[in-house]
Amino acid sequence: MTQEILTLSHIEKTFNKGTINQNQVLKGIDLTVNEGDFITIIGGNGAGKSTLLNSIAGNFLPDAGRISIKGNDVTKLKEHQRAALVGRVFQDPRMGTASRMTVGENMSMAYRRGQKRTLRKGNTQKERTYFKEQLAQLGLGLENRIDSEIGLLSGGQRQAITLLMATLKKPAILLLDEHTAALDPKTAKVVLDLTNQRIQNEGLTTLMITHNMKDALTYGNRLIMLDYGKVVVDITGDKKSQLSVNDVMNLFQTATKDGHLKDDMLLGS
């Protein structure tokens, strides 16, 4: 029987409530994510994509609704209280790592995510061996850079390590917020392929935001489209695998409030 890993029920979020700049970004989001789902999320700027991920991660609490991870109500838990359940990679390769610390030290911090903090900075020999084994799986030679400051690495190398750090302890849910958008196309493809490999090998349940239509179709088993804070398209399995970029564009035009494609989505196609 398929296990429900993440359940969002009627999630609402409004920023600047009661002011002239009031903006309701999430409007009663309902979403069930099953174990092993790899969901790609598309939608124009302002559709609520990042806000959706922020609500799952606990960056802020929703105004209404319920969030459940593996059957546990986490709606009122803050970000650090969900850290053991949620792995995340951001768009900026500099986020999620400490630039002046070594690769090994960064991985050690990630390995202890959700545990009580200690003053110990270094790695045990056992940890070091494990980290090098994990780095070697990336196929980028980064196991030989374990003592290098992570800030000295390229954006692609750093993002690959950040992905590894986010998944070292196999989180219940992995959140990818346009994590290749800041990379050049060739490097982005390498990181995306590494991402897909990691997800499949570890059996990770994943939500990935992308502006690239082709990537949204190439990766994952399920496609979700957001528009003005609502899920307007949800396609899975064989139906998703049969879609073309033109099909997705047509879906967007018929399913969205404005009925036309946003410039950022056109650029990502």
Rounded to an integer, what distance in angstroms lies between the CA atom of residue 4 and that of residue 32?
7
Q: List pLDDT tens digits, range 209-249.
A: 998 989 999 999 999 999 999 999 999 999 999 998 888 88
Domain that holds residue 159: 99-170
Domain boundary among the residues 117, 149, 170 is at: 170
Considering the domain architecture, whether residues 181 and 150 belong to the same structural domain is answered as no
Per-residue confidence (pLDDT) for residue 257, from 0 to 100: 65
Query: What is the overall mean pLDDT for the chain?
Result: 89
The answer on 74 and 44 residing in a single domain is yes
Q: What CATH number did the domain enclosing 66 receive?
A: 3.40.50.300
Whether the per-residue pLDDT at 204 is higher than 90: the answer is yes
Q: Are 184 and 163 part of one and the same domain?
A: no
pTM recorded for the entire structure: 0.91
User: Same domain for 153 and 176?
Assistant: no
Q: What are the CA-CA distances from residue 101 to residues 108, 130, 142, 177 (Å)? A: 11, 18, 15, 24
Same-domain pairing of 163 and 184: no
Overall number of domains in the chain: 2
Is there a domain that residue 91 lies in? no
Residue range 180-200, pLDDT digits in tens: 999 999 999 999 999 999 999
- Give the pLDDT score at 267: 44
When pLDDT is averaged across residues 124-147 and rounded to a whole number, the result is 91
Chain-centroid distance of CA 67 in Å reads 17
**CA nearest neighbour of 212 among 69, 90, 41, 57:** 41
- Predicted pLDDT at 113: 74
